[in-house]
Every structure is written in C-alpha cells, then in structure tokens.
Amino acid sequence: MIRTIIFSTLLVLGSSIIQSTWLGAIAVFGVIPDISLVVLVWVSYKNGLVEGPITGFVSGFLEDCLSASPLGFHAFIKTFVAAISGLLHGSFFIDRIFLPFAMGAVGTILKALAAALLSLLFGAKIQTYDFLDRVLWIEAAYNGLIAPFLFLFLGALKKLLVTESKRE
C-alpha cells in the first residue's frame, strides 16, 4: 500500500509539472488538459478509499507548496475528487472509451465544485470556475478525451499504481 501511494503521488505530481510547463502548446482556447487529475481519478478508482485520497492529499499539498495558491487549496480539491472516485471502486467495469471519457469529464466538474465550495468558505481570494463560461466545459471535454489514452497507459503501470490485493 505504501509503495502504491508513493508511486501514485510521484506520478500525479510529475503530471502536474508536465502540464504546467509543456502542455501550453496544445491548449484549446487557452485551456490545457489536467492530466494529473485524470491520473488521480484512475488511481482512486482502481484502489478505493484509502490509497486514492491519500495520494490526492499528498500530491495536492506538494503542488500547493510549489504554486502560488493558498496552502491546502489543491490538497482539498484533489482529496475531494479522489474520495468521490474511490467510492466507485469495484462498482462497475471500465470499458475502453465511454467510462474513461465520463470519469475524466466528471472529475473536472468535481474539481470545479470543490473549488466553488472553498470559495464559499473563504471568499473571493480563491480562484474558481464560472459554470456558465466555456473554460470549464472545454477542460471537461479535453480531460474526457485524453482519459481513454491515459487509462490505457496507466493500465500498463498497474503493478506500481494499484495495491496488490486490489488488482484484477
């Protein structure tokens, strides 16, 4: 379990660094995919309510330390998304296209809801999504489109990212 959390956290954090440095070249209307979120959704779904939320909290906290966001912002959001994704563990079989797309898109909407909740608690100092603006919906679609490819790639890393007792 510890090994899974360490490798998953490093992968989510590495994905955050990649998306913040290199993915600007593939932005659509200024929106880049959140590959770290999609990776976290997969890890949480495959592992359940322990490894996923711990990975979300640790990687989010480390991201908070590296960014200008308030300490705990990313930690809360990633833990929230990971916990919801972890609740789905074992609920259904993931096909190769539709469910990864849905999980990537819904994960983005959950991220926006978590940011809105923080905004309600802490005021306008928190950056949130406008649910009527195209940015959120473009990011949700983008994350949905990349999710099948990332899920396929992550399946090859299952020995490192999924606790042995939860592998299929």
Average pLDDT over residues 90-111: 90
Q: Which residues pair with 28 in a beta bridge?
A: 31
Q: What is the pLDDT of residues 31-43, one digit of tens each?
A: 999 999 999 999 9
> What pLDDT shows up at residue 149?
96
**Residue that is written with structure tokens 């600007």 in the block:** 24
Alpha carbon of 68 to those of 7, 18, 62, 64: distances in Å? 25, 17, 12, 7
> What is the Cα–Cα distance from 162 to 155, expressed in whole angstroms?
9
Does residue 1 surpass a pLDDT of 90? no
Which CATH number, 1.10.10.10, 1.10.1760.20, 3.30.360.10, 3.90.180.10, labels domain 2-20+29-162? 1.10.1760.20
Does residue 105 surpass a pLDDT of 80? yes
| Contact between 74 and 61 (Cβ < 8 Å) | yes
> What is the Cα–Cα distance from 30 to 159, expressed in whole angstroms?
35
| Contact between 147 and 101 (Cβ < 8 Å) | yes
Q: What residues does each domain of the chain span?
A: 2-20+29-162
